[in-house]
Chains A and B, each alone.
Chain A
Amino acid sequence: MERKFYISSAPHITDSDSIPKIMYSVIGALIPAGIAGIYFFGWQAFWVIAIAVITAVLTEGIIQFLLKRPLSIGNGSAILTGLLLAYNVPAEVPFWLPAVGAFVGIAVGKMSFGGLGYNPLNPALVGRAFLTASWPVYMTVFQTAPRGGTLSGIDLSNIDAITEATPLNIFESAREILLHKSQFTDKVPDAMQALSQLYSSYSNLFIGKIGGCIGETSALLLLIGGFYLMYRRIIGWKIPTTFIVTVGLLTWIFGGTDGLFTGDPIFHILSGGLILGAFFMATDMVTTPITFKGRFIFGVGCGILTTVIRLWGGYPEGVSYSILLMNLTTPLLDRYTKPKKFGGK
């Protein structure tokens, strides 16, 4: 009896890693931070996450069904987009908001370009940018204090000039006062006190006992997830490191109120969405450069833009916009940072 054999081009073996494995690993790495979000902000945070994830998956599935494309919702990428979007909104938003964000992120940010692999921008951040532009109040005014803590992570009860808000909001208003001392002479002592308190409240920032978006508060748990992904070699070290180091350096140089080199880099690294952004969004494979140098420049660029927005821009936080803007430079970075080939000049 004659045997029949498979025919294919070499290589005849492949690595066991696959798109679903990568996506579910990232999802797994994000789960601890999500649990922290639910713990600190209550069940409403859970519902926001659930709604965003379900909407993202349904949107992708329905669009693929309508376009008669193969269904790919099983590969985890839609779940990941929903999860990241939810992590980027405050816990107390109305429930339709994450649904709209996830829908826009998937439909406009991803499927309109052809689905996974073809989207130029991070879909979750497209959704978030859409929500921030459309419903800025929902997206930037935080009300839910974390369980057992305050929005700002510090005690503002004796400080009248500063209203309770997230650490970055407090930083922005206090800095505003201190940079224009002559206009706010009566508020200067309060602002100084608030800033010094902020700068000594690292532990709350680190654990996540502060106000903010659902998934971005706990630097500790995000770092654990991020290092796990680095260990699994799903994300590289270049973008997170250059992003964070750039923000640290620039905020140290320019972020102070008494001239250059008086800023507090650690405060800036731990607050807001920097850790979440640097480890989980600026490392999105599809929308970031593939070359060594490209990734380096990408991270530095994200760091510069984040700092510019935080210190001189209208928003207290700039991580999302900086990543979106740098996403747009990815094709160019790839083109101009090709590695020198072996034996090449």
Chain B
Amino acid sequence: MPLKKTFKGGVHPPEQKNWTEKKKIKEVKAPETVIIPLQQHIGSPNKPLVEKKDTVKMGQVIGKSSKFVSAVCHASVSGTVTAVEKRPHPLGINVLSVVIENDGNDTWQEKPKKDNNYMKLSNDIMKQRIQEAGLAGMGGAAFPSHVKLSPPDDKSIDCVILNGVECEPFLTADHRLMLENTDEILAGLNIIMKILDVSKAIIGIEKNKPDAIKKMGKRTAKMDAVSVLPLKVKYPQGAEKQLIKAATGREVPSGGLPMDVGCLVHNVGTTLAVYEAVSSKKPLIERVVTVTGPGVKKPGNVKVRIGTPFQHIIDSCGGYKKNAAKIINGGPMMGISQITDEVPVIKGTSGILVLDEKTAQLHKEKPCIACARCVDICPMQLVPSHIASYIEYKDVDKAQKTGLLDCMECGSCSYICPSKRNLVQYIKLGKMIWNEKQQAK
């Protein structure tokens, strides 16, 4: 039986990739001040290892946690710590951050140096390097990479999936990386395959990136274990569970993890960082960000230091257009709108989207007319309108029974709703209430 190379449901928002997909990655000069939040990942927050007035070097560890599920933070510039305090974080909260005044010298603590025999390193050393480099998933969720690469013994993994789907409209950072750093990404994939002892890898790329599919296809032509899989252009094709379904036909059970079906998904940006961490011990202190949207003068793909304030990056892209009205960390479907452009780029920041007055227009909510579009398109096959209604009427238990916790908040239902109901917002609220209730128990 031929596999269906996609998943059930999904929406087709305008792709909007043409703003930046042809723009080469440009390095942005490090700012005068970086703000490095001590929590940029899912898991235990880091404790600061530096104090005000301390001098730090580039790549120096400045935040660490004693827990395994965590990712260390490094100074992304050399200079002086001017504050260790709560600062606005792109996830919409205030987080303890280390503020460093850049001395402009980029003095490394330990300059990354390529080790040509890195493939001969033991798995434990590889994982240790990944952990020390502070890697966390760069597609957005920012789950610590060394944890992902240490599955429990009772789970056997037979397939690594490289996520080059980039289904969020506007974003092109992964696309550019696949074109400009093809070999490094494939080397990173090799490291991941070695660590997990897996002999099969699939690179999933949406069909709207034919150049990346072609290039990846050429470079992997002689690699028997690796295949490139062009995928239907449909949001959220890049969501972990939907990508696994499309690539392997396997369905991650409700409440389960990809490893429950023998799969592991890594974003291409993370994979590149894995290569750099293992081959040359380079810490994660910079990343590629797509700066785009109708509110910014010169959209492009830029490489910036972690901790660079949004404003500095937007200024380097020509600045705001007059009618800029909304600034988003990430893409338009799942990204988070910002109250200020002083927030820094973190490990999970794949894009900075600036909308103008027209595109940022908020819509008034109308009553549900039971058109069933949210039911038809829900990639998790839930009934979003019912879940949202239960939460509206404060019945979180019923919402939970209807699948509240299965929702991944992809935003497809809110996008498609002709009544402009904020379905995902209700669901997020419901999850918060649910978590509070669980904690109270």
Contact = CB atoms under 8 A, between A and B. Distances in A.
Contact of A11 (B245, B333, B368, B383): B333
Interface residues of A, number: 41
Interface string A162-198: 0000000000000000000000000000000000000
Contacts of B376: 292
A116 to B, nearest CB: 6
Interface in B97-121: none
Interface string A1-24: 001011111111111011101100
B251 A343 contact: yes
A114 B11 CA distance: 31
Nearest to A21: B418
A59 interface: no
Given A14-B415, A342-B251, A8 B362 contact: yes
A341 B406 contact: yes
A195 B252 CA distance: 59
Nearest to B16: A13
Nearest to B256: A343
A291 interface: yes
Q: Which of under 10, 10 to 19, 20 to 34, or 35 or more describes the interface residues of B?
A: 35 or more
Given A11-B415, A341-B403, A5 B339 contact: yes
Interface in B395-441: 402-403, 406, 409, 411, 414-420, 422, 424-425, 428
B230 interface: no
Nearest to A12: B332
Given A11-B415, A17-B418, A339-B381, A285 B362 contact: no
A172 B15 CA distance: 57
Nearest to B169: A13
A82 B258 CA distance: 53
B355 interface: yes
A285 B406 contact: no
A65 interface: no
Contacts of B339: 5, 7
A14 B363 contact: yes
A186 to B, nearest CB: 54
B420 A18 contact: yes
B254 interface: yes
A149 interface: no
Nearest to A70: B364
A114 B375 CA distance: 23
A15 B11 contact: yes
Interface string B309-327: 0000000000010001111
Interface of A: 3, 5-15, 17-19, 21-22, 114-118, 236, 285-292, 295, 334, 338-345
Interface of B: 8, 11, 13-14, 169, 241, 245, 251-256, 320, 324-328, 332-341, 353, 355, 359-360, 362-363, 366-372, 375-376, 379-383, 385-386, 402-403, 406, 409, 411, 414-420, 422, 424-425, 428
Query: Across chains A and B, which 9 residue pairs bring their CB atoms closest together, nearest first?
Result: A117-B367, A11-B411, A290-B372, A9-B425, A343-B254, A342-B380, A6-B326, A285-B371, A12-B332
22 contacts: A5-B325, A5-B327, A6-B325, A6-B326, A9-B425, A9-B428, A10-B337, A11-B414, A13-B14, A15-B417, A15-B418, A17-B416, A18-B420, A19-B369, A286-B369, A290-B375, A290-B383, A334-B383, A339-B382, A340-B381, A341-B380, A344-B254
Given A6-B337, A290-B383, A344-B381, 8 more contacts: A5-B339, A10-B411, A11-B411, A114-B367, A338-B402, A341-B380, A341-B403, A344-B406
